[in-house]
Every structure is written in structure tokens, then in C-alpha cells.
Structure 1
Amino acid sequence: MTRLTRTFAALSDDTRFALVDKLIRRGELSAGTLAAETEISAPAISRHLRVLREAGVITQRAQGTHRYYAANADALRAIHGWTMDHRAFWSGSLDRLDTLIALDPEGDDR
């Protein structure tokens, strides 16, 4: 399994995706803060954070008895790179969709 495949697999879970999104938007947060802001138990949050850490999506820093997590910029750059490499596919697909919509402006079902 490639690193990017592990990244996408880790992000395929809604809870893990939300955790990473929160870390991207707010920066480094403690495990306690992440657990307190969800309806999921602390042990469950820890398991999700472990999956994300092992996939390289987030980093962990220890300070005393606290653990702090942040989004891994390298993993985010890899996702961005993959997306940009496939941009032509998405652009072509969206152009085809625009053409189909233009042919049937009233959206008639057939």
C-alpha cells in the first residue's frame, strides 16, 4: 500500500476526516481538547488519532503527560499534488456535465 493510499484510507472515516479538518483549521490541539469537542469517548478518539498518525496524516508531540496533534503538511501536499495531477480528468468531466445541462436547460427527466 502506498503512502497516499494509506492517507486516503485513514481519511475515509468521517470522524477521522473531521479531526484532520479541525486540525487544519485550528492548528495544533491536545488530545483532550479534541475529545472534549466531540461526542466520542476519549479511547475512541485515541484510536482514531493512532490511525491518522500511523498513516502519516497527523503528527504527535508530547509535552509532559499531554499529547498534541497537528496536521502533517507533507501529507496535505501529497493530497494536493495528486489532486492537481488529476485535474484534467475533473475539468473534462465537469465540462461534459456543463454541455449536458446546456442541452436540457429545463432538466426534464426522461
Structure 2
Amino acid sequence: MAKHDIDLSNLFHALADPTRRAMLTRLAQGPAPVTELAEPTGLRLPTVMRHLSVLEEAGLIATAKDGRVRTCAIVPEALTPMRTWLDEQRAIWESRLDRLDDYVKKVMEEKKK
């Protein structure tokens, strides 16, 4: 297994939950306090904090505390390992599908003869 597989697992795990994806979507607009992220979810604060902890452990967000207010910000470069892996998978599957297409065309041409 590659060294970054654990990181990828953490990223995919963090993004697997729709609540966490919604939080990241909101944070893509700019930093936000935890209370603002919690509001649309309808979840209690401890549950929201667990979701944020998963995002932070995956490196997708950074948090800072100023007095009693904890603010979260997205870390977009954290998605780079996932993007790289997905690009590699896309290239592999495109190559396989191109070979399959060539094979089907060859078979079809042989049937015409």
C-alpha cells in the first residue's frame, strides 16, 4: 500500500457524510464560527464538534479560537492527494475503455467481412 493511503482514507471518510460536505460547502465561501456551521444542521453542538473534529483530523479545515468563539476555515490544498488519486484512476479507466473500444471495433469489422 502507498504511504498516502491512510490520508486518502481519512479524506474519503470525512467527505462521506453529507453534514460534513455541507459544512465544507459553506466554508468554501469563507471562514465561519462553529455556531453558524451548526445552525442549518439542527444538530446539538457536541455532535457538530465531532463532525468538525473529523474534518480537522483529515486536514480539510483549520480552527482558531478567539475568546469564546471558535472559527473554522477550509484548507483547500488538503484535497490534493484525493484529486491526484482520482486523476490516476481516471487515466487507468480511460485507457481500459479505449482498449475495449478498439477491441469492439475490431470484432465488428471482422463480423462485416
Taking structure 2 as the reference length, what is the TM-score of the superposition?
A: 0.70
Residue 31 of structure 1: how far off its partner (Å): 0.2
Query: What CA distance in whole angstroms lies between the structure 1 residues aligned with 2:83 and 2:91?
Result: 14
Is residue 55 of structure 1 aligned with residue 58 of structure 2?
yes
Give the match for residue 110 of structure 2.
none
One-letter amino acid of the structure 2 residue matched with residue 44 of structure 1:
T
Q: Which one of the candidate residues 63, 81, 86 is aligned to 1:83?
A: 86
Contact 2:32 2:73 in 1 (8 A): yes
Relative to structure 1, the CA distance from residue 87 to residue 65 in structure 2 (aligned partners, 3 Å threshold; closer, same or farther) is same
Q: Alpha-carbon deviation of 1:91?
A: 3.6
Classify the secondary structure of the residue corresponding to 1:56. Answer: coil
The AA in structure 1 aligned to 2:13 is A
Distance of 1:69 and 1:94 partners within structure 2: 42
Q: Aligned pairs, how many?
A: 97
Give me the identity figure in percent. 36
* Runs of 5+ unmatched residues, structure 2: 101-113
Match of 1:40, SS state, is coil
| Structure 1 portions without partners, runs of 5+ | 97-110
1:66 counterpart (65, 69, 76)? 69
The structure 2 residue matched to 1:6, chosen from 6, 10, 21, is 10
- Runs of 4+ displaced beyond 2 Å: 89-96
Secondary structure, counterpart of 2:64 in structure 1:
strand
- What is the RMSD of the two structures over their aligned residues, measured on CA atoms? 2.5
Q: How far did residue 78 of structure 1 move?
A: 2.1
* 1:34 shift after superposition: 0.5
Q: Deviation of residue 27 (structure 1)?
A: 1.6
